[in-house]
Amino acid sequence: MNDEQPAIDELKIAYQDEHYVLVDKPAGLLVHKSWIAKEAKQFALQMLRDQLGQWVFPIHRLDRPTSGLLMFALSKEAATKMSLEFQNSGVEKTYVALVRGVLVGRDTIDYPLVEILDKMTDSKAKSDKPAQNAVTRYQALGHYELPYSTGRYPSSRFSMMRFCPLTGRKHQLRRHMHHVSHPIIGDTTHGDGRQNRLFRDLGFSQLCLRAQKLSFTHPYTEQQIKVELEDDDYWKGIKALLQDKTFIVEG
């Protein structure tokens, strides 16, 4: 995975009120300081705190290589209220991704995941924990074929996907797509090295996974809030690469 620290002047704010703020986290940016990435110089938590001139409180996590919507609260009380919404599936999260191969239609992946034990895992993690329930809904948005071989075929095919995770396990989307043999492009942990190499050679080394939309009921106003991001420069580049490379899946 390309975890190089991006040089950022400030975070793009996608939504803000007196209780919450949502930012567009660039790929490669950590949410907060971590001993596993001592080389990192910038962190979303500290950047937003300095940008707003007040304390902010993280509500959920977004993997370092994943770009997209990240929510913070502006008080401990607001953080507690929204954290309960996340825990009780009151927040609908939508991601877009580019995956290997042809995946069609829409379906649900219901496949329990065992806790990952590596240097990224919390120190309290235990190897004897049972697999946890993990559910992901997906929908295919388009199919593309590039005139480059990464195996026995003269070309390579890919699918643009929309994901709605109903649970929040670590690396859930990446591991679920590995499970169904359609790994996300740019995933060097759970992905396909040959496909990743192809995209690196084409100038795209990041994980092709973006948290595009968050929908939730505001804990204070009870209003339905929907926040959706536009494509960042990386995704604009991906879509430009795939332009005019679509094909129709028969059957």
Predicted confidence (pLDDT) at residue 5 exceeds the cutoff of 70: no
Q: Which of 63, 118, 192, 233 is catalytic?
A: 63
**Over the stretch 33-70, which tens digit does the pLDDT of each residue have?**
654 555 556 789 999 999 999 999 999 999 999 999 99
Has domain 12-242 been given CATH number 3.30.1480.10? no
Taking all residues of the chain, what is their mean pLDDT, rounded to a whole number? 91
Predicted confidence (pLDDT) at residue 122 exceeds the cutoff of 60: no
Rounded to the nearest 5°, which phi and psi values hold at 171?
Answer: 55, 30
Give residue 1's pLDDT: 47
**Over the stretch 67-88, which tens digit does the pLDDT of each residue have?**
999 999 999 999 999 999 999 8
63 included as an active-site residue: yes
Between strands 135-146 and 67-73, the pairing is unpaired
CA 201, CA 206: separation in Å to the nearest integer?
12
Residues 6+ apart with CB under 8 A from 58: 31, 32, 45, 70, 72, 79
* pLDDT band with cut points at 50, 70 and 90 for residue 118: low
Give residue 33's pLDDT: 60
- Comparing C-alpha atoms, which of 44, 67, 42, 52 is closest to residue 17? 52
Predicted confidence (pLDDT) at residue 167 exceeds the cutoff of 80: yes
Burial zone of 211 (CB within 10 Å; 0-12 exposed, 13-18 middle, 19+ buried):
buried
Beta bridge partners of 216: 91, 225
Residue with tokens 């938590």: 45
- Comparing C-alpha atoms, which of 175, 185, 176 is closest to residue 235? 185
Give residue 35's pLDDT: 46
Predicted confidence (pLDDT) at residue 177 exceeds the cutoff of 80: yes
Specify the higher pLDDT residue, 146 or 250: 146
Q: What is the residue extent of each domain of the chain?
A: 12-242
